Amino acid sequence: MEETKQKSRVKMSEQEPLTRAKNFMEVPYGYTPEEAVKEASRCLSCLRPRCRNGCPVSVDIPSFIKLIKEGKFIEAAWKIKEENALPAVCGRVCPQETQCESLCILGKKGEQIAVGNLEKFVADYERGKGEVRVPEKPKPTGRKVAVIGSGPGGLTCAADLIKSGHQVTLFEALHKPGGVLVYGIPEFRLPKVIVEKEVEYIKSLGVEVVLNAVIGNLYSVDELLGEHGYDACFIATGAGLPVFLGIPGENLNGVYSANEFLTRANLMKAYLFPEYDTPIKKGKRVAVFGGGNVAMDSARVALRLGAQKVFLIYRRSEEEMPARRAERSHAHEEGVEFIMLTSPVRLIDDGKGNVCGVECLKMELGEPDQSGRRKPVPIKGSEFQIEIDVAIPAIGTRSNPLLTKTMPDLRLDRRGYIVADHETGMTSKEGIFAGGDIITGSATVILAMGAGRKAAQAINEYLKWKFWDTRKFVT
Amino acid sequence: MFRIVKKQELSDMVTLFEIEAKTIARKAKAGNFFVLRINEQGERIPLTIADFDTLRGTITTVFQKVGKTTHHLGMLNEGDYISDVIGPLGAPSHIENFGKIVCVGGGVGIAPVFPIARALREAGNKVISIIGARSKDLIFWEDNMRSVSDELIVVTDDGSYGKKAVVTVPLDEILREQKDVARVIAIGPAIMMKFVCVTTEKHNVKTIVSLNSIMVDATGMCGACRVEVGGETKFACVDGPEFDGHKVDFALLMSRQRMYPEEEKLSFERFKKIAGVQ
């Protein structure tokens, strides 16, 4: 009996699939304290724990799990916060199964320890208790840093810098702080009140948050470093421009980039239309193209807006999908229809400028491509059509030139991303650091946070010595 | 929060606001636009920057009341606040001494043409301006336009003021008689810009139009504003809003502007009930 209990993790209770597919409330309820202790007790407290190596920000996972075992939940939350300023966010959106959990030794004989669920539990517990600890104010250094973009990378960097005693201003182009955490990730996966709390927390540390500030247009980075007196600047503006499929009919009405669809629904609260002013097409039959988390989010938002049918169309097979396992299974349970090994070839016009269907081609898997995944190859003559009234390409983004085009002296790569050292975020221009999607292209929340953290450390060093090694940028 | 420092009713349907936005005013250039959101429930809509005053720290915009948001906006008064004002956005107009220019402004499009005409004149161009609207009460800023133009022609569809004509009639005359017009700038309803382009194409005169597509973030992130220019998809918010009018797919622009007819109606009807608007 004890043996079997050890093998499988404590399940997190959640809303029933058919109920939750009609509301925007968070899907899992989270662990109770008893459940958390029970799950934490499965941890073997390995002598040489491997989980920590899988974490991009090196959270001390064994220690925080041990604290949970002992019932010290608040202390566990603080332990995580030593390395990760946003545990409530990461517990929900990190791809733990490919990071920390993938290295857990328990996985050899059963299920790995549920690091993500435990992280979510302690962060929520701390918030619920209202015992969010504000660290003592450090001695001011007299240095000023501008952080551009308030997504996970910017928030992390700002939090770390303020703790080092610098004066920090966080600039956000939109009317709400949080970046992708607010416009991209839906309420049912990451309640917005959590992001608000995290932002309040970094404000309580002393970070000044300036909204509606499109840097490049409103102030140039040179102006920030010059007349505004900033000593350094961290660019974390995210990925930006949505990529479309490049097929006929993509500009028909009813075709949304995933960014637009999610922004309308999440940031602008179009699901509450007409109480909120922003409209969104509530499709009856919706097709989402792509296999990542953003595709899953789009499909599940479409369901919640009242779609009768949501098709998730992906050109590879489900095994190759980059989406988190939890998102895939949630989408399945809620009734999203997965159409795998299928690629759209054109979107069909109803004669009035609206999309009314999609023509697709069946694919088969051929030889592995550059990504190591087997390349999908079209099957001749396999065309078929699906009737739809909303289409959502969710196939990634490319670099946003809004800020970078105002900085001709900043080195960019071929695709327009900022060239920066991955360990420090240092760019080709003195005093300017960059990290997250604007240097790597679309990635994850935790990787952006990792970049924010590394940049904060490098900025600290730079502000001590004001030394800029540009040798690595000389070609 | 951004304060409305001046409100002027230019007609029953057209309103001018001067909004306190110091940093935007400092950076605004002819051809830029901005986005506003009235309150927490509000949508983000793009509006043109019709003027800017660095000393007073204000930007001026002119809007026509057409749907829920613009009617709501029109009910705000001097001293009221707007939750969010974001800008300046879009690429500024390309200004240089081209020689002779014709500026065409239709309806509320007269407002954004004004700073462009002014900048072009300051750059040494000879500026001929044509402003037009359906009827007399929709014509505004005649004096402003006259002050930045070497010649000003006013037309109305119904002949209630100026010449009875649409803007393309005097434009065609000018282009026929004056072969040295280097370019035409046209801002107004999509249908007007389309016919301006039909006219100028005949005379082979380069034409710049400013596209007013639906936008959400207006910083390139969402792609709501996509338009086709020369067969390529462009984002009006970051690639524009100004484009070579001869290459613009106006049918697509107009179709995409009409993406939400039922939603717009529903939202407006609800607002009228709540606000008691006739």
pLDDT tens digits along A227-260: 999 999 999 999 789 999 999 999 999 999 999 9
Taking the Cβ of residue B88 and every Cβ of chain A, the question of whether any pair is shorter than 8 Å is answered with: yes
Q: Do B260 and A402 touch (CB under 8 A)?
A: no
* Rounded Cα gap, residues B124 and B107, in angstroms: 26
Q: Which residues of A touch B233 (CB under 8 A)?
A: 244, 250-251
A133 or A352: which carries more pLDDT confidence? A352
State pLDDT tens for residues A352-364.
Answer: 999 999 999 999 9
Identify the residue whose tokens are 């597509």: B213
* Rounded Cα gap, residues A98 and B53, in angstroms: 55
**What residues pair up with A255 in beta bridges, in sequence order?**
A391
Taking the Cβ of residue B8 and every Cβ of chain A, the question of whether any pair is shorter than 8 Å is answered with: no
Instruction: Find which of B38, B43, B222 to mutate to test the A interface (most A CBs within 10 Å of its CB).
Output: B222
Of A169, A197, A167, nearest to A181 by C-alpha is A197
State pLDDT tens for residues B51-67.
Answer: 999 999 999 999 999 99
| Residue B221 vs residues A45, A103, A361, A398: alpha-carbon distances, Å | 45, 36, 29, 10
- Confidence tier at B40 by pLDDT (50, 70, 90): very high
**What residues pair up with A365 in beta bridges, in sequence order?**
A376
DSSP assignment string, A125-185? HHHHHT-PPPPPPPPP---EEEEE--SHHHHHHHHHHHHTT-EEEEE-SSSSS-THHHHTS
Q: How do strand B45-48 and strand B33-37 relate by DSSP bridges?
A: antiparallel
pLDDT of residue A95: 85
Q: Do B216 and A279 touch (CB under 8 A)?
A: no
Taking the Cβ of residue A243 and every Cβ of chain B, the question of whether any pair is shorter than 8 Å is answered with: no
pLDDT of residue A239: 79
Q: Which two tokens stand for residue A365?
A: 């898997």
Task: State in Å, rounded, how far the first CA of chain B is from the last one.
Answer: 29
Of A342-346, A449-453, B140-144, the least confident: A449-453
Of A404, A424, A461, nearest to A231 by C-alpha is A461
Question: Counting every residue, how long is chain B?
Answer: 278
How much is the average pLDDT of B15-24? 96
Q: Which two tokens stand for residue A42?
A: 């499965």
Q: Which residue of A has its CA nearest to B222?
A: A260
pLDDT at A329 exceeding the cut of 90: yes
* Rounded Cα gap, residues B17 and B22, in angstroms: 15
Q: How do strand A309-313 and strand A337-339 relate by DSSP bridges?
A: parallel
pLDDT of residue A404: 92
Instruction: Find which of A169, A172, A176, A212 to mutate to test the B interface (most B CBs within 10 Å of its CB).
Output: A212
Rounded to the nearest angstrom, the minimum Cα separation between A443 and chain B is 16
| Residue A443 vs residues A13, A373, A398, A412, B199: alpha-carbon distances, Å | 29, 18, 12, 18, 48
| Residue A30 vs residues A15, A88, A117, A353: alpha-carbon distances, Å | 11, 11, 7, 45
User: Cβ–Cβ contacts within 10 Å for residue B44, how many?
Assistant: 24
Of A427, A431, A432, A397, nearest to A413 by C-alpha is A427
pLDDT at B200 exceeding the cut of 80: yes
pLDDT at A36 exceeding the cut of 80: yes
**A–B interface: beta-carbon pairs under 8 A:** 113
Of A250, A168, A163, A264, nearest to A207 by C-alpha is A168
Instruction: Find which of A217, A221, A397 to mutate to test the B interface (most B CBs within 10 Å of its CB).
Output: A217
Q: Which residues of A touch B42 (CB under 8 A)?
A: 277
Instruction: Find which of A214, A271, A350, A397 to mutate to test the B interface (most B CBs within 10 Å of its CB).
Output: A214
How much is the average pLDDT of B250-270? 94
Of B80, B45, B85, B52, nearest to A212 by C-alpha is B85
pLDDT of residue B220: 93
* DSSP symbol at B246: G
Give this complex's ipTM: 0.94
Q: Which residues of A touch B86 (CB under 8 A)?
A: 173, 175, 212, 214
**What residues pair up with A360 in beta bridges, in sequence order?**
A344, A384
Which helix H or strand E contains A338, and what residues bound it?
strand A337-339
State pLDDT tens for residues A186-203.
Answer: 999 999 999 998 899 889
pLDDT of residue A2: 47
pLDDT > 90: what percent of chain A?
72
Mean pLDDT of chain A, nearest integer: 91
Identify the residue whose tokens are 């030889």: A367
Q: Which amino acid is at B95?
A: I
In sequence order, the 6+-apart residues with CB closer than 8 A to the CB of B173 are none
Taking the Cβ of residue A276 and every Cβ of chain B, the question of whether any pair is shorter than 8 Å is answered with: yes
Q: Do B87 and A217 touch (CB under 8 A)?
A: yes
State pLDDT tens for residues A53-106.
Answer: 999 888 999 999 999 999 999 999 999 988 888 888 888 888 888 899 999 999
pLDDT of residue B185: 97
Rounded to the nearest angstrom, the minimum Cα separation between B125 and chain A is 27
pLDDT of residue A475: 44
Taking the Cβ of residue B217 and every Cβ of chain A, the question of whether any pair is shorter than 8 Å is answered with: yes
- Confidence tier at B277 by pLDDT (50, 70, 90): low
| Residue B24 vs residues A177, B58, B205: alpha-carbon distances, Å | 20, 8, 33
pLDDT of residue A1: 41
Do A31 and A128 contact (CB within 8 A), yes or no? no
Q: Which two tokens stand for residue A305?
A: 């807006």
> Which of A173, A212, A253 is nearest residue B85 as measured by Cβ atoms?
A212
